[in-house]
Amino acid sequence: MFTFFKKKSADEVVKTGGDSSISSNELVDDTHLTTQEEEITTSLSIHPNWNLPKEKEYVFRFLNNDLHPLKPNQISLSGVELGQDEKGIQVTAFLRNSLSKGIKLEKVELLLLDVDQTVLARKEFNLEELGEIPGESSRPWMFIFEKETIVKTAVLSEGWSLAFNVSSLQPHRLDLDQKWDDSLPQEEKNKLETVVEGLPELKPREFNLMGIQAKFMDNGELATTILFRNGNPKSVQVQQLPLEVIDANQEVVARGSFVLDQFEVKANTSKPWTFIFPVDMVTKSDADLSKWAVRPIKSS
């Protein structure tokens, strides 16, 4: 299961991965936080269902003894060894808990980073499989990144690390442009927050557009309010956007291209914006907008 078990002795096992830590309240409730300042040395915790021979357990104990102490109230990933083949990447690491109580984790996206913190692979893991991690302990595990989860190929020897994708841990939220935040009444902001909270959950790294209001103005222009939904762990910049509006009969109502100035949709947020289609962009002035949609125009 672990590649370093093929080596002759524990003395030959070299830890090539780095460490990454987050505050425990990012993953679990904070009712057991401590105010102590002393660093915490974590003891080895083998999964109760593992039946490891003594010599293999000794290897883990040897590796664990060399880990740096943690600060209070941290959850950490400490990379040990990495193996690569045509199927993907196998990462051996310790998941460490400096809380005084045991913790149980759920689904979390993990990132494999190189020495420059560039993302090489990303995958959502079900950490329930690790069982309860006792307080002040380190539990070894193997994390497998299949070929399809690798975003950048690299030959790794030292300095890589495994990290929690912190942005994916935060709930999806509404993000308003400063002008909107300053001008919208609180009641309207609350309505937008309710809309965002009620939408289906985005898939990892999904980015889409959703129309939330459309109406013809007295001068014949079509005003639309669109929600930019970003499920990525990084901000998305939108500079130029060709759009078309579809009515209840699936017919094109308006088409046009819009240039946006420094328009940023922050990671894991939804941002509303209004687009006004001038009369010369409107192709159907008697459209049924009881049900409508907006979509980017695909380049031919």
- pLDDT for 143-185, tens place per residue? 999 999 999 888 777 889 999 987 666 778 999 999 999 999 9
**Which residue ranges make up each domain of the chain?**
3-169, 173-296
CB burial class (10 A; 0-12, 13-18, 19+) of residue 290? Answer: exposed
With 70 as the cut, is the pLDDT of residue 244 above it? yes
With 80 as the cut, is the pLDDT of residue 102 above it? yes
- For residue 11, the model assigns a pLDDT of 66
With 90 as the cut, is the pLDDT of residue 23 above it? no
- For residue 46, the model assigns a pLDDT of 96
3-state secondary structure string, the chain?
CCHHHHCCCHHHCCCCCCEEEEEHHHCCCCCCCCCCCCCECCEECCCCCCCCCHHHHHHHHHHHHCCCCECCCEEEEEEEEEEEECCEEEEEEEEEECCCCCECCCEEEEEEECCCCCEEEEEEEEHHHHCCECCCEEEEEEEEEEHHHECCCCCCCCCCEEEECHHHHCCCEECCCHHHHHHCCHHHHHHHHHHHHHCCCCCCCCEEEEEEEEEECCCCCEEEEEEEEECCCCCEEEEEEEEEEECCCCCEEEEEEEEEEEEEECCCEEEEEEEEECHHHECCCCCCCCCCEEEECCCC
- pLDDT for 4-16, tens place per residue? 666 656 667 788 9
- For residue 120, the model assigns a pLDDT of 93
- For residue 270, the model assigns a pLDDT of 95
Q: Which two tokens stand for residue 185?
A: 């009444």
- For residue 300, the model assigns a pLDDT of 59
| pLDDT average, residue stretch 49-76 | 92
Q: How large a percentage of the chain has pLDDT more than 70?
A: 92
- For residue 232, the model assigns a pLDDT of 77
Q: How large a percentage of the chain has pLDDT more than 90?
A: 67
With 90 as the cut, is the pLDDT of residue 268 above it? no
Q: What class is the 173-296 domain?
A: mainly beta
d(CA 266, CA 84): 33
Higher pLDDT among residues 44 and 107, named by residue: 44
Higher pLDDT among residues 272 and 117, named by residue: 272
- For residue 169, the model assigns a pLDDT of 67
- For residue 286, the model assigns a pLDDT of 93
Task: Provide the pLDDT confidence category of residue 267 given band limits of 50, 70 and 90.
Answer: confident
Kindly report the pTM of this predicted structure. 0.61
